[in-house]
Chain A
């Protein structure tokens, strides 16, 4: 592998200058949103610098505990973020989101770390943390879209579902009218990104590895395995959320709550 080409501080500063010029342009043209952009740039910078230091520390002192804590933190953050983005998630549903996130990403992460990437030792933070992060991040998007579609669909189709219940329809069969769509919505971004992969865009991880000097064939092997992991993790978490979540709309008398 070639030596990794460093980005100099001057180089980085130039990038900020480029952005500042754009922002002043937005301001002059009264497009607005410049404060939002400035804030997000600022947050991104601070967050990454912090993460950089934390990761450096963890990489220098690898331990099972650090890796597991990082995993829990990422899962916890993903869960909170889902609740924030969807808003008004009912209590029962929240519980299921938590369970689905832990089970879905947990199983997939350990499967891929142990048997696909064969990381040794399994908790080696350079591998474990970014792999887990990518699966959790994508699952979070999936869950968010999935429960949003499920909650909206159940609300919009309340009368239809009640009508089917009155005829003796089985709740788990009736909700398939709505949950199938929710599943599709949840998987759409993952499917789209796989469809366009390599043609419309080069995925971030692969780009990163190539920029860092890895041969493309090695990078795609990683990317393929990673994509399969992401797909697996998204499918599993979304499946659990929708399957168990659908049941939360009914009480024990098969009446709609």
Chain B
């Protein structure tokens, strides 16, 4: 799905060669500051590499309309930001920004349930806890049914039990829809349990790539 070659982004990230396959769960791990977020942003085309090529579905990523591309390859940031207003307004704005048809409260309520939130749609998002915000942000993304999910530490603000619930849910969701999941995580346990491929980044370089069948 993604093929990176000779990528360089400032002195932050250098990737000689990397392939990320469709319909797989890829985890990206590594020490803080290693370039994990930067890699996701490159795949989301939120930033462009200084040199090298990124092919998405065998076409140079910069030849896609960036907005259309992001609707297929959607990123959840490490520190998601709520749009102002209630949870319902957050869903509505998400649909509006991405030029989708409006959806019913039923759809929104199902999504909240999916991420394990038992909150009214009228709840003001500025009053939510960190972990609740993180899950509303995930629900916003799931509302749009992207083909590929780029999640940047989607469980960083969650307790172990909720983390487990959320990650399992996302992995199931992806596998059921034959989608692709690329996820940054700090929890090795998550990578070990769910990843088809684990990429370890260290100091802006790929240190190792582990697949289920062994180290590449």
Contacts and interface: CB of A to CB of B under 8 A. Distances in A.
B70 A167 contact: yes
B46 A166 contact: yes
B44 to A, nearest CB: 6
B148 to A, nearest CB: 12
Contacts of A253: 45, 48, 62, 66
Interface in B138-183: 140-141, 144, 146, 150
Contacts of B75: 166-167
Given A160-B81, A163-B81, A253-B62, A170 B67 contact: yes
Interface string A155-191: 0000110111111111101100100000000000000
A168 B83 contact: no
A171 B98 CA distance: 10
Contacts of B66: 253-255
B186 interface: no
Interface residues on A, range: 10 to 19
A160 B84 CA distance: 10
A167 B46 contact: no
Interface in A227-257: 253-255
B62 A168 contact: no
A167 B145 CA distance: 11
Contacts of A159: 77, 79, 81
A187 B66 CA distance: 34
B48 A167 contact: no
Contact of A173 (B74, B80, B99): B99
A170 B46 contact: no
Interface in B38-63: 44-48, 62
B115 interface: no
A167 B83 contact: no
B94 interface: yes
A174 B79 CA distance: 18
B76 interface: yes
Given A162-B46, A254-B66, A255-B46, A167 B81 contact: no
A255 B74 contact: no
A253 B61 CA distance: 10
Contacts of B80: 163
Contact of B74 (A162, A167, A171, A177): A167
Interface in B70-103: 70-72, 74-77, 79-84, 93-94, 96-99
A250 to B, nearest CB: 9
B68 interface: yes
A159 B137 CA distance: 13
A168 B74 contact: yes
A174 B144 CA distance: 16
A170 B93 CA distance: 11
Contacts of A177: 83-84, 93
A167 B84 contact: no
A166 B79 contact: no
A85 to B, nearest CB: 28
Contact of A168 (B48, B76, B96, B144): B144
B77 A163 contact: yes
A178 to B, nearest CB: 11
Interface string B1-16: 0000000000000000
B29 to A, nearest CB: 21
A166 B76 contact: yes
Contacts of A168: 67-72, 74, 97-98, 144, 146
A253 B137 CA distance: 24
Contacts of B81: 159-160, 163
Contacts of A160: 81-83
A170 B98 contact: yes
19 contacts: A159-B77, A159-B79, A160-B82, A162-B46, A163-B77, A164-B97, A166-B46, A166-B76, A166-B77, A167-B70, A167-B140, A168-B67, A168-B144, A169-B67, A170-B67, A174-B97, A253-B48, A255-B46, A255-B48
Interface of A: 159-160, 162-171, 173-174, 177, 253-255
For the complex of A and B, 6 pairs with smallest distance between CB atoms: A169-B97, A168-B71, A168-B70, A166-B75, A254-B66, A160-B81
